Amino acid sequence: MTAYASLETRFSRLSAISGAAGILGWDAQTLMPDGAAEARGDQLAVLHGLAHEILTAPETADTLAAAEAEGGLETWPAANLHEMRRAYLHAAAVPRDLVEASSRAVSRSEMVWREARRDADFPRLAPHLAEVLRLQREIGQAKGTALGLDPYDALLDGYDPGMRRAVIDPLFADLTSWLPDLIAAARTRQAEGPAALPLDGPFPVDTQRQLGLTLMRALGFDEARGRLDISLHPFCGGATDDVRITTRYDEADFSRALMGVLHETGHALYEQGRPTAWRHQPVGSARGMSLHESQSLIIEMQACRSREFVSYLGPLLREAFGRSGPAWEPDNLFRLYTRVEPGFIRVDADEATYPAHILLRYRLETAMIGGDLAVADLPGAFNEGMRDLLGLTVPDDRVGCLQDIHWPSGAFGYFPTYTLGALAAAQLFRAAKAAEPALPGCLAAGDFAPLRTWLRANIHGQGSLLTTDALLERATGAPLGTAAFRAHLEARYLGG
């Protein structure tokens, strides 16, 4: 067996361990009884520790060096070896005891967060979040030392390979320079047009679920390799060939669950479309979270809030809920689904105001990792940012800094990928329409095959063969930027 073949076997085992941890993590957020939290935390810590031990074993380093010395690999195996080395460098920088301590702290913090969020009780979470932050700072410092990066960039690199604050900051500064005026102009234009008519409930949860499944099938979700469930915070997780997505339901407003399902199905399509031959190897993984978020947003925002898709959705809604009348006509539905209105909840935000939520979280988490913001001061800083960026006064921490699970889960460095993903989604959708001129008409008929086929060829099926920049340039002809996103918002909300 060659050194490279030995590595493939080793990384296939790591993929299986990761999949097991993914299913246990999904269960912890959906079905697990609260009393099992401590035991589950221990189980996940052991799995994460075991994966870390395999990845950082001396023989892994020796075999990597031997495979690199052998050379002669073709394109995909060579890229796989590069990704193996990258995974090793990230893992070897962090001691196993720190990996397990972080895993246990996260498990405890996530369970306390559920109670704290429910009761709007930040002090209950604060000590647990402080411990998670302390450990994430240690991990960031350890990785930063090994990779030659500052701690935040080192954490960011774990979610979005190659991404740096030096790239993000100019993009976010550009957004900040024109987005407030665009939001104001969009709201003025809305006010001058017909008022959106409300959709009166209640909307039974079972009907909402069946509608969600119908649209998942239309999008191309493979139900033989995934499922839909309920969780406090919508997410896409699970394992290779077993993709679990979740949403949350509100009988007074079906759109939250519906758009959540569409968003998470975009993630799931990426996972189900990864290159089959490499699905248990690093090169077969999704190419970072900015591109992953682009896939959820190209479905939810670019395609499924388009006028064409809404014309297809209208009859489905009327049949599912047994409603009729002007409020259920496509023009009114389009006004509802493209309404620009600042709100407290990030996951419910429209695509124009959504970046403000991310700008705030990016500012806060970089300050926390940098030691410039203490956990005790987070609620006040969050509330001040909401006033500055969206003009809103936060009534309690449940709709403030407790609304997201990311920080209790230790996901520092994740938040900026949401808006980077929105920028990429705009570029990709523009390129897809240029390549497939019939695409808008297909969306009006509920036919996602042309879009899905284009994404499979240009994003999903490429795995981690290329860097994010190279993948975007090949697919769209340009590096990541704000121009396509701005043009999209102006066209949809200002008629430009």
Architecture of the 166-200+280-493 domain: Orthogonal Bundle (1.10)
Average pLDDT for 78-85 = 98
Residue 233's pLDDT is what?
79
Query: What is the pLDDT confidence band of residue 16, given thresholds at 50, 70 and 90?
Result: very high
Residue 422: predicted pLDDT: 98
pLDDT digits (tens, 9 = 90+) for 197-237: 999 989 999 999 999 999 999 999 999 999 999 998 789 99
Angstrom CA distances, 143 to 151, 155, 370, stand at 7, 8, 14
The tokens describing 182, both together, are: 């665009």
Query: How remote is the C-alpha of 126 from its chain's centroid?
Result: 25
Task: With a cut of 70, say whether residue 465 has pLDDT above it.
Answer: yes
Pairing state of beta strands 242-247 and 236-239?
antiparallel
* Residue 236, C-beta contacts closer than 8 angstroms, at least 6 positions apart: 243, 244, 245, 246, 264, 267, 268, 271, 296
Residue-wise pLDDT for 170-197, tens only, equals: 999 999 999 999 999 999 999 999 999 9
The domain spans of the chain are 3-159, 166-200+280-493
3-class secondary-structure state, position 492:
helix
255-298: per-residue pLDDT in tens?
Answer: 999 999 999 999 999 999 999 999 999 999 999 999 999 999 99
Which residue do the tokens 């996103």 mark?
A: 485
CA dihedral 244, 455, 17, 128 (to 10 degrees): -60
Strand partners, 239: 242
Name the pLDDT band for 496 (thresholds 50, 70, 90): low
pLDDT tens sequence across 110-133: 999 999 999 999 999 999 999 999
Q: What confidence score (pLDDT) does residue 112 get?
A: 96
pLDDT at residue 495, as a whole number:
87
Q: Is 228 helix (H, G, I), strand (E, B) or coil?
A: strand
Mean pLDDT, the chain, whole residue set: 96
Name the pTM for this structure.
0.94
pLDDT in the model for residue 232? 82
Supply the residues annotated as catalytic: 264
Q: What is the pLDDT of residues 292-331, one digit of tens each?
A: 999 999 999 999 999 999 999 999 999 999 999 999 999 9
C-alpha closest to that of 139 among 96, 200, 190, 169:
96
Phi, psi at residue 201, to the nearest 5°? -90, -160
CA quadruple 42, 47, 48, 50: dihedral, nearest 10: 120
